[in-house]
Amino acid sequence: MKLATLDDGTRDGQLAVVSRDLKTAHIADGIAPSLRAALDDWAFIAPQLDALYRQLNDARGEGKARRSFDFDPARCMAPLPRASARVCGATYLHHHELQQRALGRSLPAAWREAPVLRQAASDGLHGPTRALVLAREEWGIDFGAELGIVSGDLVQGATPDAALAQIRLLLLANDVTLRTLMPDELETGFGLLLSKPATAFAPVAVTPDELGDAWTAGKAALPLRVHLNGNPVGTLEAGEDMTFNFAQLLAALARARPVAAGTIVGTGVVSNRSTRRHTPGYASIAGQRWLETIDCAEAVTPFMRFGDTVRIEMLDGNGKSLFGAIEQTLEQAAP
Amino acid sequence: MKLATLDDGTRDGQLAVVSRDLKTAHIADGIAPSLRAALDDWAFIAPQLDALYRQLNDARGEGKARRSFDFDPARCMAPLPRASARVCGATYLHHHELQQRALGRSLPAAWREAPVLRQAASDGLHGPTRALVLAREEWGIDFGAELGIVSGDLVQGATPDAALAQIRLLLLANDVTLRTLMPDELETGFGLLLSKPATAFAPVAVTPDELGDAWTAGKAALPLRVHLNGNPVGTLEAGEDMTFNFAQLLAALARARPVAAGTIVGTGVVSNRSTRRHTPGYASIAGQRWLETIDCAEAVTPFMRFGDTVRIEMLDGNGKSLFGAIEQTLEQAAP
């Protein structure tokens, strides 16, 4: 099923079920007030949401789901505006290899053995069409298309198989980075905070069964499309070059702690290697700049400029939008 | 006022008001179901809680608060078992100076200019008497006595003065670190995750007015006592050697993002310099080991062993426990 959170003025928003084609929606607050509350009690709530989802999909044009309405992504908050927890992993290692190579280094071997995880902000998460409002272009404002999952409860020490069974929802995100603020933060060893403004999420969260055969071995083998100002800059395959699958990412987190329902685990930027047949482009500007540095000794692609619009979308097996699109325009903050 | 969260089987627990002397309590779920919910709507909820708090303190022995009961810290969860967000700052820089000196380095100058902040886990926070259950002593299991505040809503770019006015509550915490797992995580630049198991919190959260004159300029000028297996190991003054006050810590976070109600900002380990008159001891074993390394070239104080009990407490101006005590025993996890 597909679930969205509508902005009703509350901090956690209002839960809605959205039709598979993303055209209609139905308020679900009679079942659970928010997605957060639904995840707290998923075994009881999910079947009720699923019944409404089936009714909504079946009823198109037949008047069965009579209180449905046109789905408007602009009304959406992030599916989880405040998650229980959020962690991002170094998953598409090609992205991190490029970074290291551009710096004249190589990726530490440990990064290939287990996912390196980063505690990320789990509150203040933004909806899909909210403007990126930042003060200075010189911060090196960069988008970052990534996937994420929302977990159920998981005991500490859970295996990847156990973790796989607890993957409740998939998400699509734009994890924004201020690239010129990042090196100082990496040096402290304390991780990224100033260099990570709010992450935005696509309009709907989807259950893994929505992916059909494309959901295999804890990976989403589907195309990811990134556009900058209407021009395609990334035509990636999220199922390729994913060094660790979602079950492994989640199990890596469970090494450190029990995982609570509503925890988001993100992949970090999706990145594919070029092949003779296909140049995938990029899901973050930094990735492209690192390639330029390696190949030509100089990065030429600029970071985002005020007025730029980034669009991030994943297509399902029928070429339709799976999560709806993230579409964010960069605006200059008022001084 | 003093507020606690009782374990009622729910994820966020049940809100209770606790008397100033920590002897009696009263369920407050008729006012707000949880502390989290109270913080979401503080301007409306706090006066109601305060009225109950006054009644509870006045009524001792007079039968006015008839549904009050004996307060039992063992029934407490963390005041906020799931916070909106949590960040820890490098505040008592003496602690970090010792770490750097023990490694033969010096503290980067930037650490003195603005607080270095670390995104920390905001879920799975533990109550005051919950056992520390960990698998291996070799991880270098260390306690860390620190203070924290809970913030209200704060806009991005807020000044320290504006931040000071949004400090809702003070907390006392045991931020546990697995010291031998820490260096690898510092090296990734992604921050601490595996090396930071669950943090535990003292039974009650207190409003700043409870500190009276000891709450000055965003600091809590009160004694902090740390005992290991009944022996005093730290007799610290939390108002001393605090390089950044809470208002500065919170404003530093607001540089990066708006701060949402219910956000915890922790100080990191409290650490005092020795004076001719007083040897403060330590609030984390690592601090003592770094001193030993600097003075004697070898750390001799062992990290925690299975069966060890750490007790952390802050005293108010009358020498009474302000927050109640954290008292945690280290147990070996079942294999």
From the list A117, A194, A198, which residue is nearest B193 (CB)?
Answer: A117
From the list B111, B122, B260, which residue is nearest A85 (CB)?
Answer: B122
Partner A contacted by B136 (CB < 8 A): no
- Can you tell me the distance from the alpha carbon of B277 to that of B263, in angstroms, rounded to the nearest whole number? 38
DSSP annotation of B125:
P
Phi (first) and psi of residue A287, to 5 degrees: -55, -45
| Strand bridging mode A309-314 / A141-142 | unpaired
pLDDT digit string (tens) for B75-119? 999 999 999 899 999 999 999 999 999 999 999 999 999 999 999
Q: How far is A62 from chain B (nearest CA, A)?
A: 41
Q: What is the model's pLDDT at position B64?
A: 58
Q: Are the beta carbons of A210 and A20 closer than 8 angstroms?
A: yes
A194:B256 CB<8 A: yes
Q: What is the model's pLDDT at position B36?
A: 97
Q: How far is B100 from chain A (nearest CA, A)?
A: 12
Q: What is the model's pLDDT at position A64?
A: 58
- Say what the pTM is: 0.95
Does pLDDT of B62 surpass 60? no
- Can you tell me the distance from the alpha carbon of B241 to that of B208, in angstroms, rounded to the nearest whole number? 20
A260:B82 CB<8 A: yes
Residue pointed to by tokens 């203040």: A124
- Can you tell me the distance from the alpha carbon of B268 to that of A26, in angstroms, rounded to the nearest whole number? 46
Q: Are the beta carbons of B175 and B200 closer than 8 angstroms?
A: no
Would you put residue A179 in left (φ > 0), alpha (ψ -120 to 50) or beta? alpha
Phi (first) and psi of residue A126, to 5 degrees: -100, 155
Minimum CA–CA partner of B82 in chain A: A84
Partner B contacted by A124 (CB < 8 A): yes
Which two tokens mark B181?
């797992």
Chains A, B: CB pairs < 8 Å: 108
Reported as type and span, the H/E element at residue A130 is none
A189:B194 CB<8 A: no
| One-letter identity of residue A91 | T
| Strand bridging mode A326-332 / A132-134 | parallel
| Burial per residue of B142-159, b for 16 or more beta-carbon CB atoms within 10 angstroms, e otherwise | bbbbbbbbbbbbbebebe
Sign of the four-CA dihedral A167, A170, A176, A179: positive
CB < 8 Å from B in window 143-162 of A: none
Q: Are the beta carbons of B210 and B20 closer than 8 angstroms?
A: yes
C-alpha distances in Å from residue B171, one per residue of B263, B322, B326:
12, 10, 11
Nearest to B80 by CA among B270, B261, B212: B261
Minimum CA–CA partner of B114 in chain A: A194
Q: How far is A285 from chain B (nearest CA, A)?
A: 20
- Can you tell me the distance from the alpha carbon of B329 to that of B130, in angstroms, rounded to the nearest whole number? 8
Q: Which residues contact B112 (CB under 8 A, 6 or more apart)?
A: B93, B243
Nearest to A307 by CA among A72, A119, A132, A116: A132
Q: Are the beta carbons of A86 and A117 closer than 8 angstroms?
A: no
From the list A82, A118, A194, which residue is nearest B190 (CB)?
Answer: A118
Residue pointed to by tokens 């610290």: B236
Which residues in chain B have Cβ-Cβ distances shorter than 8 Å to A119?
118-121, 191-193
| One-letter identity of residue B328 | Q
Q: What is the mean pLDDT of residues B109-138?
A: 95
Minimum CA–CA partner of B107 in chain A: A188
pLDDT per residue, tens digit, chain A (335 aa), is 999 999 999 999 999 999 999 999 999 999 999 999 999 999 999 999 999 999 999 865 555 567 899 999 999 999 999 998 999 999 999 999 999 999 999 999 999 999 999 999 999 999 999 999 999 999 999 999 999 999 999 999 999 999 999 999 999 999 999 999 998 888 888 889 999 999 999 999 999 999 999 999 899 999 999 999 999 999 999 999 999 999 999 999 998 889 999 999 999 999 999 988 889 999 999 999 999 999 999 999 999 999 999 999 999 999 999 999 999 999 999 87
Reported as type and span, the H/E element at residue B150 is strand B145-151
From the list B117, B194, B260, which residue is nearest A193 (CB)?
Answer: B117
- Can you tell me the distance from the alpha carbon of A135 to that of A333, in angstroms, rounded to the nearest whole number? 5
Q: Are the beta carbons of B249 and B90 closer than 8 angstroms?
A: no
Q: How far is A38 from chain B (nearest CA, A)?
A: 13
Which two tokens mark A36?
């957060």
A184:B257 CB<8 A: no
- Can you tell me the distance from the alpha carbon of A5 to that of B48, in angstroms, rounded to the nearest whole number? 31
Residue pointed to by tokens 């009690």: A41
Which residues in chain A have Cβ-Cβ distances shorter than 8 Å to B38?
none
- Can you tell me the distance from the alpha carbon of B99 to that of B177, in angstroms, rounded to the nearest whole number? 14
- Can you tell me the distance from the alpha carbon of A282 to that of A286, in angstroms, rounded to the nearest whole number? 9
DSSP annotation of B104:
T
A260:B124 CB<8 A: yes
**CB-side neighbour CA atoms (13 Å) of A297:** 0
Q: What is the model's pLDDT at position A61?
A: 55
Which two tokens mark A132?
């990126």
Q: What is the mean pLDDT of residues B277-299?
A: 95
pLDDT digit string (tens) for B215-239? 998 999 999 999 999 999 999 999 9
Nearest to B202 by CA among B39, B1, B2: B2
Q: Which residues contact A53 (CB under 8 A, 6 or more apart)?
A: A1, A2, A17, A19
Q: How far is A301 from chain B (nearest CA, A)?
A: 25
Q: What is the model's pLDDT at position B327?
A: 98
Phi (first) and psi of residue A53, to 5 degrees: -65, -45
DSSP line for B96-119: HHHHHHHTT----THHHHS--EEE
From the list A189, A253, A257, which residue is nearest B189 (CB)?
Answer: A189
| Strand bridging mode B200-201 / A85-89 | unpaired
pLDDT digit string (tens) for B23-33? 999 999 999 99
The better pLDDT of the pair B217, B269 is held by B269
Instruction: Tell me the β-bridge partners of A237.
Output: A223
Partner A contacted by B82 (CB < 8 A): yes
From the list B108, B122, B191, which residue is nearest A191 (CB)?
Answer: B191
From the list A11, A189, A191, which residue is nearest B40 (CB)?
Answer: A11
C-alpha distances in Å from residue B251, one per residue of B148, B158, B162, B239:
14, 6, 8, 19
Three-class SS of residue B321? strand
The ipTM, to two decimals, is 0.93
A190:B191 CB<8 A: yes
Which residues in chain A have Cβ-Cβ distances shorter than 8 Å to B11?
40, 260-261
Minimum CA–CA partner of B90 in chain A: A190
For A148-184, what is the HEC assignment?
Answer: EEEECCECCCCCHHHHHHCEEEEEEEECCEEHHHHHH
- Can you tell me the distance from the alpha carbon of A64 to that of A51, in angstroms, rounded to the nearest whole number? 13
Q: How far is B119 from chain A (nearest CA, A)?
A: 6
Share above pLDDT 90 across residues of chain B, in percent, rounded to a whole number: 90
B185:A189 CB<8 A: yes
CA B204 and chain centroid, separation: 11
Q: What is the model's pLDDT at position A335?
A: 78
Q: What is the model's pLDDT at position A67?
A: 87
Q: What is the model's pLDDT at position B67?
A: 87
Q: What is the model's pLDDT at position A87?
A: 97
Which residues in chain B have Cβ-Cβ distances shorter than 8 Å to A116?
188, 190
CA A163 and chain centroid, separation: 18
Q: What is the model's pLDDT at position B24?
A: 95
Q: What is the mean pLDDT of residues B271-277?
A: 93
Q: Which residues contact B55 (CB under 8 A, 6 or more apart)?
A: B26, B64, B65
Q: C-alpha angle with apex A298: A294 to A302, nearest 5 degrees? A: 110
